[in-house]
Amino acid sequence: MSKSIKLAILGLGTVGTGVLDLLKDNLKELKRRSGHDIVITQVGTRRQRDDIDPAIKQNSDLMAIAESDDVDIVVEVIGGMTVAKDVIIHAIKNGKHVVTANKALLAEHGNEIFALAEEQNVHVAYEASVAGGIPIIKVLREALAANKVEWLTGIINGTGNFIMSEMRDKGRDFDDVLAEAQELGYAEADPTFDVEGIDAAHKLALLASIAFGIPLQFDKVYCEGITNITLQDVTYAEELGYRIKHLGFAVRRYDDQEADTAERELAGIELRVHPTLIPEDKLLANVNGVKNAVLVNSHPLGQTLYYGDGAGAGATASAVMADVMDLIRVLTVKDGHHVPHLAFMPNQLSDTPILASDQMITGYYLRLEAKDTPGVLADVTRILSDAGINIDAILQKPAHQKGQVPIIILTLPVIESNMNSAINKIEALGAITTDVVRIRLHELD
């Protein structure tokens, strides 16, 4: 039997307006898919808008909306941490299901929010919080439910990807591209969250929890931005067959990486966001502009790549309404079952440790500026060898200024504490004239 499902949309910015437009354009299709009418009864907005259907109540009192009898599902797209958290908790306590795009809020307070939702027997859906319109949350929670995720990585911030793409494709400097990204609306006036990797770290915390069945632990994500990436390094990477991307990684680490799968003991989980060299022929290396992509390696499926628009009104509204459709099924099917918020049953979340940054294992790109004197390269390679670091490639460039020779070294994977020690010793050499530039490297095999 058909019934009306009543929505409230809190926030009428880009995403909230996108949801309104999507409902207007695709309402018949949504009804065919759900079997029910979908009605927006209220919108939360600070100022009255003339372009809103008069049948929809415009209300600036968000708490009143969250407890209203004419609301079944609250869609929170106001962003931020304080007001959004308060209104979501109030909605949950009043028995409302919630859809949110607020990755920062969930990454930092999701454990509390999801626990309260379980207690109140309501659901918090958040597909739009990661990678825009790419259904990566649903993929990890449902489509890959029979798989064991070994690692995932992705371009999960479009602003950073736009900057790195423009630097490589057009030979532009970081500051120049950032200014354009701000003009185009890809970056905020204060771009810190994007260029320093904080936005990507919020999203990675969510992906890792779903992939591995661990509590949300944003505070343990290692985070490094792209502000120090130079055109020089982008060019050298290209010469060596690599491209630099700003990636998030969530990786299961084992005590013996070479042992048979059944015999390996889990050492911990790496959670990290940083610039990374990846081979130029990999699909992920060819995701450009503001697009997002997530690469998942799972057993037994292997590698799968999910690509699309990571932001924007249409992409985010698509993800928001997909969550609404799922919640409609929960509301209208007797004894409807829902997928747990973090994919695993709440009492089955693991306390697997998150490894410290100096325990990470990656390959490295190292760039040194050295005096043009005999024996420098031999000293550097000896230090690396003594630290158990194997060299994969060396590129020595002509002196770009009198007496200064750039040396580029690629290494095989090594534990970061060993690399830290080696770099300290290299920088102490009298022939090394600047700090060593290091960028992590992954083959994505």
Annotated binding site for L-homoserine: 188
Distance from C-alpha of 271 to C-alpha of 204, rounded to nearest angstrom: 8
Binding residues for NADP(+): 10-17
- The three-state secondary structure class of 307 is strand
Largest Cα–Cα separation, the chain = 85
Which residue out of 96, 203, 220, 245 is catalytically annotated? 203
Q: Please tell me the distance from the alpha carbon of residue 217 to that of residue 135, in angstroms, as a whole number.
A: 22
Helix segments in 257-335, DSSP class H? 313-332
Residues in the chain: 445
Nearest partner of 416 among 369, 357, 345, 371, judged by Cα = 357
| 148 noted as active-site residue | no
| Positions at the binding site | 10-17, 103, 188
**How far is it, in rounded angstroms, from Cα 54 to Cα 51?**
9
**Residue 410 — φ and ψ, nearest 5°?**
-105, 135
Own/partner pairs, 327-334, CB within 8 angstroms, 24+ separation: 327/73, 327/97, 327/99, 327/123, 327/125, 328/5, 328/34, 328/36, 328/38, 328/73, 329/34, 330/97, 330/123, 331/5, 331/72, 331/73, 331/97, 332/3, 332/5, 332/34, 332/35, 332/36
Contact 224, 275 (CB under 8 A): yes
Could you tell me where the beta strands, DSSP code E, fall in 232-333?
A: 242-254, 266-279, 291-299, 302-309
Phi-psi region of 201 (alpha: psi -120 to 50; beta: other; left: phi over 0): alpha
Q: What is the DSSP string of 324-388?
A: HHHHHHHHHSTT-----TTSS-GGG---PPBPPGGG-EEEEEEEEEEES-TTHHHHHHHHHHHTT
Annotated binding site for NADPH: 103
CB neighbour list of residue 56: distance below 8 Å, 6 or more residues apart: 40, 41, 42, 43
Under 8 Å between Cβ of 245 and 383? no
Closest among 142, 143, 122, 144 to 66, alpha carbons compared = 122
CA dihedral 212, 213, 216, 222 (to 10 degrees): -20
Catalytic residues: 203
